[in-house]
């Protein structure tokens, strides 16, 4: 890890400028750009950075001290890091943890992720909360000037209308686990911790997001799983078409979706989605089961959500976010299919909602 301090700057599309110090990998062209969002989790920075759902986005960590326990390969949530960059207040110079295999700065360099530290993340987070997720660009000032960064931020398209799933999905089918049940999983950006949960009771056949309904049927699975993933669900219409075909089979095969999988399943059934102002990114969101009244503290990572009103005549709302009333789960009326917006696998976050995997297992065993 280099001790040389390099001045850097972050510029948002509205012209707001933040000073900082460069860390991580030098980006091609001298800067990186993307949709700037914030995550409120206190720990789990490695899992957040390697979550494919952050493709196209720059992650602001609201917790001020990041990197203090280092990194370990076992905590990676995917084969690579797909985020455009990370923004922190204080990037730890020393790491202290018995599991640590390296420091965060070297990890960012190895995975090609640009980083900027020393940023006033409190001011930045308040700005995002007021204006919504906003395009931004940052880079080291020995390679790029602020005028170039401002133009790059203005030119950044954000995540709406962009197929980011194609960037993160597996290029070919593979198998995970060796359980007695068989699950066919669509990979829209699937996390390792989800595969670990499913692998405890099933052999998981993981398919690319472009897989046809016939390819899924060929597995003769006990259940179908729709994974998390990045970006705008309406752009993944090719997957929604195939899932609609699977729903039309009229069989009892359970279908379970998480996050983007929840949104794509809803679109396949005829519901609609909306883009949230700054999304939900964190590990402490209270979600209530509207039938049982049970409240789980959940991990969240999404910028789009299902319009609860559009479920009328299609399905029912099953879970609601107690912070803002956003739809957090639904069940279809005419199919054995249901989904949740939050992340029951956590990684990072609380494990309150992992019982949802048990429900999936029970439905398959029937």
What domains are defined for the chain?
7-155 (3.50.30.20), 165-365 (3.40.50.880)
Contact 37, 60 (CB under 8 A): yes
Strands 223-226 vs 255-258: parallel, antiparallel or unpaired:
parallel
Q: Please give the angle made by the CA atoms of 350, 351 and 355, to the nearest 5 degrees.
A: 150
Structure token pair of residue 322: 């107690």
Q: CA 48, CA 40: separation in Å to the nearest integer?
A: 11
Q: CA 290, CA 319: separation in Å to the nearest integer?
A: 6
User: How many Å separate Cα 119 from the centre of its chain?
Assistant: 23
Instruction: Look at residue 129 and give its three-state secondary structure.
Output: helix
Question: pLDDT by residue (tens digit) across 75-131?
Answer: 999 999 999 999 999 999 899 999 999 999 999 999 999 999 999 999 999 999 999
Closest CA to 295 of 360, 350, 216, 236: 350
Length of the chain: 366
**What single DSSP character describes residue 53?**
G
| Residue 1 confidence (pLDDT) | 45
Catalytic residues: 259, 343, 345
For the chain, residues with pLDDT lower than 70 are: 1-3
The kind and range of the H/E element at 193 are helix 192-199
| Residue 249 confidence (pLDDT) | 87
**What single DSSP character describes residue 85?**
E
User: How many Å separate Cα 266 from the centre of its chain?
Assistant: 18
Q: CA 1, CA 111: separation in Å to the nearest integer?
A: 14
Handedness of CA 289, 290, 294, 299 (dihedral sign): positive
Question: pLDDT by residue (tens digit) across 182-230?
Answer: 999 999 999 999 999 999 999 999 999 999 999 999 999 999 999 999 9
Instruction: Look at residue 163 and give its three-state secondary structure.
Output: coil
| Residue 3 confidence (pLDDT) | 64
């Amino acid at each position: 890890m280099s001790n040389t301090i390099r001045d850097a700057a972050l510029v948002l599309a509205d012209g707001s400028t933040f000073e900082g110090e460069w860390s991580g990998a030098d980006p091609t062209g001298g800067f990186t750009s993307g949709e700037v969002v914030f995550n409120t989790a206190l720990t789990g920075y490695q899992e957040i950075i390697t979550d494919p759902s952050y493709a196209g986005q720059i992650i602001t960590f609201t917790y001020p001290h990041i990197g203090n326990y280092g990194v370990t390969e076992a905590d990676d949530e995917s084969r690579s890091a797909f985020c455009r960059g990370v923004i922190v207040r204080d990037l730890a110079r020393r790491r202290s943890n018995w599991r640590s295999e390296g420091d965060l700065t070297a990890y960012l360099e190895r995975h090609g992720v640009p980083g900027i530290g020393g940023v006033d993340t409190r001011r930045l987070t308040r700005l995002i909360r007021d204006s919504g997720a906003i395009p931004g660009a940052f880079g080291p000032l020995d390679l790029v000037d602020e005028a170039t960064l401002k133009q790059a931020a203005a030119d950044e398209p954000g995540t709406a209308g962009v197929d980011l799933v194609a960037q993160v999905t597996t290029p070919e089918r593979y198998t995970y686990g060796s359980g007695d049940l068989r699950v066919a999983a669509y990979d829209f950006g699937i996390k390792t911790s989800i595969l670990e949960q499913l692998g405890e009771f099933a052999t998981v056949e993981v398919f690319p997001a472009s897989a046809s309904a016939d390819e899924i049927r060929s597995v003769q699975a006990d259940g179908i799983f729709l994974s998390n993933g990045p970006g705008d669900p309406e752009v993944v219409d090719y997957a929604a078409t195939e899932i609609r075909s699977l729903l039309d089979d009229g069989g009892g095969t359970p279908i379970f979706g998480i996050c983007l999988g929840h949104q794509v399943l809803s679109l396949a059934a005829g519901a609609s989605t909306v883009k949230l102002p700054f999304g939900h990114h964190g590990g402490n969101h209270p979600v209530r089961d509207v039938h049982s009244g049970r409240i789980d503290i959940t991990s969240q990572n999404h910028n789009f959500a299902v319009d609860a009103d559009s479920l009328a005549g299609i399905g029912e709302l099953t879970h609601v976010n107690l912070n803002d009333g956003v739809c957090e789960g639904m069940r279809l009326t005419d199919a054995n299919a249901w989904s949740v917006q939050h992340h029951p696998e956590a990684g990072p976050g609380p494990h309150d909602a992992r019982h949802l995997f048990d429900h999936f297992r029970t439905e398959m065993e029937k």
